[in-house]
Structure formats: C-alpha cells, structure tokens
C-alpha cells in the first residue's frame, strides 16, 4: 500500500535540514571526513579503519566537534577537546574538526554546489503558498552553502552550527536546534513539519515535538529513519510536490549524495 504523504502547504511552517536534503553537499562532507580520519587513524595507529558505516553511526547530522569525539570514542581514544579557534594542525577534537572544515570549504569553493532540483521545486510551491520556511543544520557552513546554491532567499530563519555555538544549543539528536528553529520561525512544532535525512536529525525533530517528520532516505535507510521517529520516508523531495500544482518536479533519486554533519 503506497505511503500517504503530507501536503506541506497546510503546515504552519517547515524546517529543513540542509546537507542531503536541500543540497548534495553531503558527499563533499563525507569525502572530507574520510580523508581526515584516514590520516588521523594512520598517524595514531587507530584500528579498525574509519568507514562509511562510522559516518552514519557517529558523524551524520551532528555538530563538527561532537562528530569527531564520537568517532574517537568508538575506538576508545580520548584527546583534549581544545578550543573552536584551534589551528587545523592541533591534535585536539576541535583541531581535527577544523581540519575537516578546511578540506570541505576548499572543495566547495573550487567546485561550487547546486541544489537538488526536486527540493527547489518544493520550495517554490511552499513559497507560493506562503508557508514560512527555515533551515536547521549542524553545519557552520550553512550560510555559505545556501548562498552558493542560490536558495538563501527562500528562508527567513537559519539555525546552524554558528547559532548553536552562540546559544549553547545541544547537538542533534538533542531537540535544541529544532526547538530553536520553531521558536525563531514563530511556529508550533505540533502543527509544523521537519524534513531530515540523518538519523540523529530525525530523532532531534521528533523529540522537539514535530508531529510530522519527513525522512529523506539518501543512504541512512528507511527503517532506521522510521525507528528514529520519521512519520514518513521518501527518496526525494519531488515526492512532496502536489500534483495539482502542475509542476513537473525533477527526480533526484539518481544522485548518490548524502547528508553530513558540518
């Protein structure tokens, strides 16, 4: 039996995750993390090797330093936390996180980024329906990614890693960031929608009180997203474009890109 999908035009507001939901930047993040952890594991003799499985289990959707700490703890490795201003060469949690961010930023500025076509089609429908929209992303690069992708103007609110650090918000799967997104957008989570592709992000929105949490499966797996709290799971935001809009929403399912932590 086909899954019944929500009509987002009836929501009080919609909060979107960024990487892997709106833009295919997740693959860039994943490659940057792989490169950094490959070097760290080799230099420090850490085993077993870092893999994509570790990304989904310990990094995906989290704030940068929390992702680093989670991966290292999974190998029983503890290092100083350091400071957010640490040089990328520093052997601290923050230093490793900043090393990864430098790799991601270089790749973004070199190649640029375009949003998922299906996501843009949905954003246009929601803007036409005057539904308030915001972004909730663990990434400290969110503003640059949104601007580079040409979609910043769709959103009145962006709660990202920079905002989370300033306000002391807990990293996903804690509900803090989605609660702040709803507060800033001026909507009630119970009558609004969250759209996420990370297991930690789905859990965050669910605990924050969003009655409708759309899981976008870019690799995490539909069952894992449902177990985390997704009320429905799709493979592309084009699925949420209502047929009565007359929009021929492009299908982005062929992309292999996914979401990341910042």
Segment 218-247, tens digit of pLDDT: 988 999 999 999 999 999 999 999 988 755
Q: Is 38 a catalytic residue?
A: no
Annotated active-site residue in 19, 60, 217, 236 = 19
Residues 6+ away with beta carbon under 8 Å from 62: 70, 138, 171, 172, 200, 261
Whether the per-residue pLDDT at 69 is higher than 50: the answer is yes
pTM more than 0.75: yes
Q: Residue 47: its pLDDT value, please?
A: 97
Q: Do the strands 157-159 and 212-216 form a parallel or antiparallel pair, or are they unpaired?
A: unpaired
Sheet holding 193-196, edge to edge: 157-159, 133-136, 14-16, 193-196, 212-216, 232-234
Which two tokens mark 213?
């949490």
Domains defined along the chain, listed by start? 8-24+114-245 (3.40.50.1000), 27-111 (1.10.150)
Q: Is 217 a catalytic residue?
A: no
Q: Which residue has the higher pLDDT, 3 or 33?
A: 33
Secondary structure class of 193 (helix, strand, coil): strand
Q: Residue 80: its pLDDT value, please?
A: 97
Annotated active-site residue in 17, 54, 60, 217 = 17
């Amino acid at each position: 039996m086909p899954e019944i999908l929500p009509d987002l035009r009836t929501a009080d507001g919609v909060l979107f995750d960024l990487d892997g939901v709106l833009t295919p930047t997740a693959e860039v993040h994943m490659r940057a993390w792989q490169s950094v952890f490959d070097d760290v594991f080799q230099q420090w003799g850490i085993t077993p090797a870092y893999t994509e499985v570790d990304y989904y289990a310990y990094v995906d959707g989290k704030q940068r330093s929390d992702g680093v700490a989670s991966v290292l703890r999974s190998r029983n490795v503890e290092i100083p936390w350091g400071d957010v201003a640490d040089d990328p060469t520093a052997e601290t949690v923050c230093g490793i996180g900043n090393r990864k961010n430098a790799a991601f930023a270089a790749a973004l500025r070199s190649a640029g980024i375009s949003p998922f076509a299906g996501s843009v089609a949905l954003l246009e429908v929601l803007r036409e329906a005057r539904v308030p929209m915001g972004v909730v992303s663990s990434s400290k690069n969110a503003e640059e990614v949104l601007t580079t992708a040409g979609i910043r103007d769709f959103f009145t609110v962006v709660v990202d890693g920079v905002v989370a650090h300033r306000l002391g918000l807990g990293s996903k799967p804690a509900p803090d960031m989605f609660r702040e997104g709803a507060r800033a957008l001026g909507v009630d989570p119970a009558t609004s929608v969250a759209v996420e592709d990370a297991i930690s992000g789905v859990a965050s929105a669910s605990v924050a009180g969003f009655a409708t949490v759309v899981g976008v499966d870019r690799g995490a797996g539909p069952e894992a997203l449902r177990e985390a709290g997704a009320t429905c799971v799709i493979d592309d935001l084009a699925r949420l474009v209502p047929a009565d809009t007359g929009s021929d929403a492009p299908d982005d399912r062929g992309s292999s890109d996914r979401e990341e932590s910042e």
